[in-house]
Amino acid sequence: MNFTHNGLSGEIHIPGDKSISHRSIMFGSIAKGKTVVKNFLAGEDCLSTIACFRKLGVKIEHEDQTVIIHGEGIDALKEPEEVLDVGNSGTTIRLIMGILSGRPFHSVLIGDSSIGKRPMTRVVGPLKEMGAKIEGRQSGEFTPLSVTGGELESITYTLPVASAQVKSAIILAGLQAKGTTKIIEPEKTRDHTERMIHAFSGNVSNDNGTISVEGGQSFTATNLIVPGDISSAAFFLAAGAIVPNSKIVLKNVGLNPTRTGIIDVLKEMGAKMTIEPYESNGHEEPTGDIFIETSELKGVTIDGDKIPRLIDEIPIIALLSTQATGKTIIKDAQELKVKETNRIDTVVNELKKLGANIEATDDGMIIEGQTSLSGGTVESYGDHRIGMMLSIASLISDGDIELYQPDAIAVSYPSFFDHIDHLLVK
Ligand code: S3P
């Protein structure tokens, strides 16, 4: 990649949020009636979710950023004749298991080689406790998995890891169980599932970190507009802050407080940024525009309950930190090891190849700034966020960066390179 430019300027519309797009398909499929979803993220992960629900018998129309789901209620889901392939998507496989656990039929779940390495016991364990029969490689830790659902009992479950995917899988099973399922969340994680339940006229409550959901609810179709994905915006927030002579506007960014850790970090680092929240625009997720320009940054420490609010942004925060003065310490982030790649290793190894002063720790990394980055040959290892981080690095590197496996970026941001091209001042 060799982007010759004189800074970044102009505005881009951030594509739909991946987490919310997945949930829109799932809830549209178990609700009764026609759900119309606008600004849907047509990235590979969310297309995997559509493909799985079609195999479960749901009629789903999809064109560009609009999806129409003809839901007939959860009882209308049918035993799939083929395996359900989730591709690279952890959200699809973990959440769909929650739905399948209460369905009286058999399904087989597979994914790509990255999915085959990601831990599933965190979801399989509580779902089996509720009564689902789930089997898989290494006692249900890895795909391929088979799920035979049926009648479920409610449970009270304390999340051992701060994971919205685990929480959501249990909520989706709890919606089909006898009685009230309670999930105790020691650290708050993204609450898109809870907001979506309200949007589809269901009930869920959160009392000081205990989420309660009653079984036997039915949902009514609705229309949704998916806000832009702050995790995608994060790459351009970073670019705006570290590429010299830049001033850009990111439109339609989701500002759900469970996701805005990146904004807090940028502010603490000293980024010149302003946020203009939209007035209520008819959906349940707060949204707004973000203005950002080239900034002098300083290192920060990121740990504890800040981590779940920015877990997916740590690769790009690492790059930001190479351009900040002083030390940045990221700790309590051991969950990075079980993402699409082991992101402690992939971030540290690839940035080192470009000359960054960065070291891995057991639960995060330490970055010393400010270093100029050189060119070099790097790899995404099939991880979309690693690919995007390294592409943004090429906007500030002294020499050319060659990126292997750039295609992974289509998992969450198919228009990523078009957006870079649109913002470049040539
Ligand atoms: C997601 C939750 C997070 C996040 C992932 C999407 C979701 O994973 O990293 O990209 O949509 O619920 P965990 O729940 O494993 O932390």
Token pair, residue 4, equals: 């010759």
Mark whether 26 and 132 lie in a shared domain. Answer: yes
Catalytic residues: 312
How far, in Å, CA of 131 to CA of 128, rounded? 5
Which spans in 175-212 are helix H?
192-199
Mark whether 193 and 329 lie in a shared domain. Answer: no
The rounded Å distance from CA 107 to ligand 1 centre is: 23
DSSP for residue 286: -
What are 358-406's pLDDT values in tens digits? 999 999 999 999 999 999 999 999 999 999 999 999 999 999 999 999 9
User: What pLDDT was estimated at residue 2?
Assistant: 75
What are 29-76's pLDDT values in tens digits? 999 999 999 999 999 999 999 999 999 999 999 999 999 999 999 999
How far, in Å, CA of 120 to CA of 91, rounded? 11
Mark whether 414 and 345 lie in a shared domain. Answer: yes
What are 221-248's pLDDT values in tens digits? 999 999 999 999 999 999 999 999 999 9
Residue 4 falls inside a structural domain: no
Mark whether 118 and 154 lie in a shared domain. Answer: yes
- Residue span of the structural domain in which 372 resides: 9-15+227-423
How far, in Å, CA of 28 to CA of 222, rounded? 8
Split into its structural domains, the chain has a count of: 2
Token pair, residue 153, equals: 């009992």
Residue 258 falls inside a structural domain: yes
Please identify, by atom number, the ligand 1 atom nearest to the C-alpha of residue 193. 12
Buried b (16+ CB within 10 A) or exposed e, 402-411: ebeebebbbb
Residue 47 falls inside a structural domain: yes
Determine if ligand 1 sits within 6 Å of the CB of residue 333: no
User: What pLDDT was estimated at residue 281?
Assistant: 55
| For ligand 1, mutation pick of 165, 262, 313, 343 (most atoms within 8 Å of CB) | 165
- Of 225, 250, 279, the domain-final residue: 225
Q: Is the pTM of this model over 0.85?
A: yes
Mark whether 205 and 242 lie in a shared domain. Answer: no
What are 143-190's pLDDT values in tens digits? 999 999 999 999 999 999 999 999 999 999 999 999 999 999 999 999
Mark whether 188 and 305 lie in a shared domain. Answer: no
Using CA positions, which residue lies closest to atom 9 of ligand 1? Answer: 312
Mark whether 252 and 186 lie in a shared domain. Answer: no
Mark whether 171 and 258 lie in a shared domain. Answer: no
Determine if ligand 1 sits within 6 Å of the CB of residue 91: yes
| 351, amino acid identity | L
Residue 1 falls inside a structural domain: no
| 103, amino acid identity | R
How far, in Å, CA of 121 to CA of 124, rounded? 5
Mean pLDDT of the chain: 97
The rounded Å distance from CA 253 to ligand 1 centre is: 18
Mark whether 112 and 144 lie in a shared domain. Answer: yes
Mark whether 87 and 43 lie in a shared domain. Answer: yes
Q: The domain that contains 383 carries what CATH number? A: 3.65.10.10
Determine if ligand 1 sits within 6 Å of the CB of residue 19: yes
| For ligand 1, mutation pick of 17, 88, 163 (most atoms within 8 Å of CB) | 163
Run of H or E residues at 136: strand 133-136
How far, in Å, CA of 20 to CA of 6, rounded? 35
Mark whether 209 and 281 lie in a shared domain. Answer: no
What are 285-303's pLDDT values in tens digits? 999 999 999 999 999 999 9
